[in-house]
A and B are shown apart, each in its own frame.
Chain A
Amino acid sequence: MLVEESEDTEKPERSKERVNVKGKRRYSREEKRKGKLLVESALDSKDESLVDGSVSDVELLAQEVNLSDEKPSKKNNRRTSQGRMERFRDTARQNASRFAHFNTQEEDDNILSMEAESEIPSEELEEKGVEDWPGSFSTAMKIIRDRAANLNVRQGSSSSDKVQSLQIKWVPQKCKRKDWSKRLPPSLLDLSLRVLVDNADAIASLAHVPDALRHKLCHMLCDSRRMNSNFFDLLLNGSPTEIRLKDCSWLTEEQFTQCFEKCDTTNLTILQLDFCGHCFADYNLPSTLARSPNSLPALTTLSLTGAYRLSDAGLSALVSSAPALRSVNLSQCSFLTHSAIDILATSLASVLLELFIDDCQSIDAMLVLPSLKKLEHLEVLSVAGLESVTDSFIKEFLIARGDGIKELILMDCWKLTDSSLKIIAETCSNLRALDIGNISKLTDTSFGYLASGCRSLQSLKLCHNAFSDDAIAAFLEMSGEVLKELALNNVGKVGLNTALSLARRSRNLVSLDLSWCRNLTDEAMGLIVDSCLSLRVLKLFGCSQITDVFLYGHSNAKVEIIGLKLSPFLEHIKTPAQGPFQYSSV
């Protein structure tokens, strides 16, 4: 409101700059509205995608909101005292960050809405389908379309007709039962763990405690912020084999150095020190982890996320002390450059199975390409958040290494288009898991490629993508049987067709994320949950349209619904594989 007022008063005062600034202002106001909606959804989905590292996006959007809130008050202060040029400079300054971090999805939203206005008839789309999509996918699409009595897929008055013609027949259970989870008593293991976490300081020794239980304890201690150096000492006592700390932000440099200096690392196979930037730098490496070449002879899995002070030289020292490394996670190590990956490729070309370089902003994807191609047995590659990942990167890398790749994480690589998905489908025949969240340029054509190409896909993660209900439904009809994990977070067009296909095809689905899918009704949810008998986890953040009719009416006793009522959800954030690698065995 305030913005509009101030703009009106400022209008007569401007002269030649009026057009530009006005144009800018109008655009930014629209953007601001859109920006606000996006912020809400991003901030809420942050809760459930903490691990994804999309925190940077949220912070950017939060800054935008702050700026837009500051705008009216700032203008009131400045208007009277300073001149016109100051005002323009202020406006430019305030708007600059928004333009600098241009959100491509907003551009796409504009494009999509323009398309809707021009009302492309579905026949034309089908024609395009025959040309672009592989045969069976276009058949599947046709079946989905014929499900609805009306052919016009675009929004408008037709959507209400479509709802009527697609009747989802699901009747909730007659007897209302209480929350099922309360009936199951907590296991003795959970009870003991809770007592231990409460009394962690009293634990004298962790000898004979198996690694899996140690990890659970660490996980719970880190979550409740009770982790401290005493417990860390206990973990490092003796000759530990596995250490998994999901949060080392409490650890100081001195504590880290002291504890690790006396640790016997000869049997250490897994070392995970996430968020270790505070305690970990090049200069305390020689006394702790990189004591000598081969000081970590058995280390196969290393995770040092957030080590923002680790340089290429430091990594080189690490690699020389751990020659058997097969899985390396260097996410958010912002100091590393492509030379670091060169080092990895030179020493570990024949053994490296998994590489995670999420958000390593100093790494240029194209420069890293030659090194990546040298990794002969790479199974898992994560380049989430790297803006330099383009279609040509994907093409060149996968043509060389695609047949061995089992998991590809491309979240936030917003430059990618459908042609990358085409390459993925053609080269990655063994692909088990794919994450293409936040890539707004992808269209339904990608689903066509995926359905025909990646037949063993077990995990598919989407987020904020622009796919249509029909395309997802058709994909599920073709590939739904094998799917175990599906995330359709904020894929706004998901609707009844997807629900029907999920119910019919997804026998093996274990985890489903339908957060922010507002077109799904209670009946649709009920049908999905009652038909997918393997389903154990259902995330429904932001689905305020779901009521108790579904919550207490569904008959699937084993599914856990997260995100609607107040329920502990941190426990369901994916913990890393218990073994050293995701797909291979040692």
Chain B
Amino acid sequence: MKRKDTVKLISADEMEFIIDKDAAMVSQTIGGFAEMELGEVTFPEISAVILEKICQYFYWALQYSRGKETEFHIEPELTLELMMAPNYLHT
């Protein structure tokens, strides 16, 4: 993957997730950030587990909008925290 096509998302506990820019565009907030900065966004309030799930969601949403409609499974234990993160991310 070329560097220009990717975005790096960093969680509160400093885990780094590198994803495609297209996937990151699902979130309007990240899309806005990615334009400006070096291609790195830090989320001091979101933990690694949640951020991982969010990245999975981005890819799933991308697939969905391209026609492949599947189920996105969320583990119930994650849901409360997961619900509060998107509020901030506008997804």
Q: Once the chains bind, are B79 and A192 in contact (CB under 8 Å)?
A: yes
Q: Once the chains bind, are B82 and A192 in contact (CB under 8 Å)?
A: yes
Residues of B near A213 (CB, < 8 A) are 83-84, 87
Residues of B near A210 (CB, < 8 A) are 84, 87
Which stretch of B2-10, B32-40, B60-68 is in the interface?
Answer: B60-68
A196-210, CB < 8 A from B: 196, 199, 202-203, 208-210
If the complex has contacts A187-B91, A203-B80, A209-B80, are A192 and B86 also in contact, measured as CB distance less than 8 A? yes
B76's partner among A182, A189, A195 (CB-CB below 8 A) is: A195
Tell me, yes or no, whether B1 is within 8 Å of chain A by CB: no
Query: B53-91, CB under 8 A of A: which get 1 and which 0?
Result: 010010011001101010010101001101111110101
Inter-chain CB contacts under 8 Å: number: 54
A184–B76 alpha-carbon span in the complex (Å) = 24
A213–B64 alpha-carbon span in the complex (Å) = 25
Instruction: Report whether over half of chain B's contact residues are helix, strand or loop; otherwise say mixed.
Output: helix
Q: Once the chains bind, are A192 and B87 in contact (CB under 8 Å)?
A: no
Q: Once the chains bind, are A209 and B76 in contact (CB under 8 Å)?
A: no
Distance in Å from the Cβ of A461 to the closest Cβ of chain B?
Answer: 31
Distance in Å from the Cβ of B73 to the closest Cβ of chain A?
Answer: 9
A212–B83 alpha-carbon span in the complex (Å) = 12
B12-65, CB < 8 A from A: 26, 54, 57, 60-61, 64-65
A188's partner among B54, B65, B80 (CB-CB below 8 A) is: B54
Tell me, yes or no, whether A185 is within 8 Å of chain B by CB: yes
Residues of A near B82 (CB, < 8 A) are 188, 192
A191–B83 alpha-carbon span in the complex (Å) = 8
Q: Once the chains bind, are A182 and B69 in contact (CB under 8 Å)?
A: yes
Residues of B near A185 (CB, < 8 A) are 26, 60-61, 64-65
Tell me, yes or no, whether A543 is within 8 Å of chain B by CB: no
A189–B80 alpha-carbon span in the complex (Å) = 10
A140-194, CB < 8 A from B: 182-185, 187-189, 191-193
CB closest residue in chain A, given B53: A188
A352–B85 alpha-carbon span in the complex (Å) = 37
CB closest residue in chain A, given B67: A183
Q: Number of B residues contacting the other chain (C-beta, 8 Å)?
A: 22
CB closest residue in chain B, given A207: B80
Report the interface size class on chain A: 20 to 34
Q: Which of A195, A202, A210 has the most CB of B within 10 A?
A: A195
CB closest residue in chain B, given A192: B83
Residues of B near A203 (CB, < 8 A) are 80
Distance in Å from the Cβ of B47 to the closest Cβ of chain A?
Answer: 13
Instruction: Report whether over half of chain A's contact residues are helix, strand or loop; otherwise say mixed.
Output: helix
Q: Once the chains bind, are A188 and B79 in contact (CB under 8 Å)?
A: no
Q: Once the chains bind, are B76 and A199 in contact (CB under 8 Å)?
A: yes
Residues of A near B57 (CB, < 8 A) are 188, 191
CB closest residue in chain B, given A187: B91
Q: Once the chains bind, are A184 and B74 in contact (CB under 8 Å)?
A: no
If the complex has contacts A187-B91, A202-B76, are A193 and B61 also in contact, measured as CB distance less than 8 A? no
Residues of A near B60 (CB, < 8 A) are 185
Distance in Å from the Cβ of A183 to the closest Cβ of chain B?
Answer: 6
Q: Once the chains bind, are B84 and A188 in contact (CB under 8 Å)?
A: no
A561–B79 alpha-carbon span in the complex (Å) = 30
Q: Once the chains bind, are A189 and B86 in contact (CB under 8 Å)?
A: yes
Residues of B near A209 (CB, < 8 A) are 80, 83-84
Distance in Å from the Cβ of A108 to the closest Cβ of chain B?
Answer: 50
Q: Once the chains bind, are B86 and A187 in contact (CB under 8 Å)?
A: yes
Distance in Å from the Cβ of B27 to the closest Cβ of chain A?
Answer: 9
Residues of A near B89 (CB, < 8 A) are 188
Q: Once the chains bind, are B91 and A188 in contact (CB under 8 Å)?
A: yes
Q: Once the chains bind, are B83 and A196 in contact (CB under 8 Å)?
A: yes
Q: Which of A183, A188, A199, A210 has the most CB of B within 10 A?
A: A188
A30–B82 alpha-carbon span in the complex (Å) = 60
Distance in Å from the Cβ of B61 to the closest Cβ of chain A?
Answer: 4
CB closest residue in chain A, given B62: A185
Distance in Å from the Cβ of A220 to the closest Cβ of chain B?
Answer: 12
CB closest residue in chain A, given B74: A195
Q: Once the chains bind, are B84 and A191 in contact (CB under 8 Å)?
A: no
A209–B80 alpha-carbon span in the complex (Å) = 8
If the complex has contacts A182-B69, A195-B74, A210-B84, are A189 and B79 also in contact, measured as CB distance less than 8 A? no
Q: Once the chains bind, are B65 and A189 in contact (CB under 8 Å)?
A: no
Residues of A near B86 (CB, < 8 A) are 187-189, 192
A191–B74 alpha-carbon span in the complex (Å) = 8
A189–B88 alpha-carbon span in the complex (Å) = 10
A309–B84 alpha-carbon span in the complex (Å) = 39
Residues of B near A183 (CB, < 8 A) are 65, 67
Distance in Å from the Cβ of B2 to the closest Cβ of chain A?
Answer: 26
A189–B85 alpha-carbon span in the complex (Å) = 8
A184–B57 alpha-carbon span in the complex (Å) = 13
Distance in Å from the Cβ of B83 to the closest Cβ of chain A?
Answer: 4
A191–B67 alpha-carbon span in the complex (Å) = 18
Residues of A near B72 (CB, < 8 A) are 191
A185–B65 alpha-carbon span in the complex (Å) = 6
A196–B76 alpha-carbon span in the complex (Å) = 7
A203-233, CB < 8 A from B: 203, 208-210, 212-213
A184–B72 alpha-carbon span in the complex (Å) = 14
A182–B74 alpha-carbon span in the complex (Å) = 20
A189's partner among B26, B61, B69, B87 (CB-CB below 8 A) is: B87
A-B contact pairs, 19 of them (CB 8 A): A183-B67, A185-B61, A185-B64, A185-B65, A189-B86, A189-B91, A191-B72, A191-B74, A192-B74, A192-B82, A192-B83, A193-B83, A195-B76, A195-B79, A196-B76, A196-B79, A196-B83, A209-B84, A213-B87
3 tightest CB-CB pairs across the interface, nearest first?
Answer: A185-B64, A192-B83, A185-B61
15 new A-B contacts, CB < 8 A, other than A203-B80, A213-B87, are: A184-B65, A185-B61, A185-B65, A188-B61, A188-B86, A188-B89, A188-B91, A189-B83, A189-B86, A189-B91, A195-B74, A195-B79, A196-B76, A199-B79, A208-B84
